[in-house]
């Protein structure tokens, strides 16, 4: 956990979020600034700064997160969806705690 990380604060319950899933390893919640009709984040409870910071020991966690995306997308009513992982400042990452954006719904183009 990182004391100044907003996602760590959501994980430990000091900042509220509209959760759609939680288990011992990950949490998923609606994005507070959605870019699509359905836009949620899948976040590991373990603080990892970015995809570039991941190592072999994170392989199972990353796989779990990716396999969770279609399950939660279907539960949110999506037949199709987009996944996105911003990595590093130059890659558009704003919160430096790895997370997967899952977006979809409607016919409008997805803006991310």
Q: Which residues are catalytic?
A: 99
Describe the chain by its helix, strand, coil percentages, rounded to 5. 30, 20, 50
User: Is residue 88 within a helix (H) or strand (E), and if so which, with residue range?
Assistant: none
Write the CA distances from 48 to 42, 68, 87, 110, integer angstroms. 13, 18, 11, 26
Enumerate the β-bridge partners of residue 83. 102
Are 106 and 57 contacting, i.e. CB atoms less than 8 angstroms apart?
A: no
């Amino acid at each position: 956990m990182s004391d100044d990380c907003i996602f760590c604060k959501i994980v430990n319950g000091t900042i509220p979020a509209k959760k759609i899933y939680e288990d011992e390893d990950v949490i998923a919640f609606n994005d507070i600034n959605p870019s699509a009709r359905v836009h949620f984040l899948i976040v590991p409870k373990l603080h990892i700064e970015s995809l570039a910071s991941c190592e072999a020991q994170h392989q199972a966690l990353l796989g779990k997160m990716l396999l969770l995306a279609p399950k939660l997308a279907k539960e949110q009513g999506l037949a199709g969806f987009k996944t996105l992982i911003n990595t590093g400042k130059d890659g558009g990452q704003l919160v430096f705690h790895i997370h997967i954006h899952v977006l979809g719904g409607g016919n409008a183009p997805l803006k991310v």
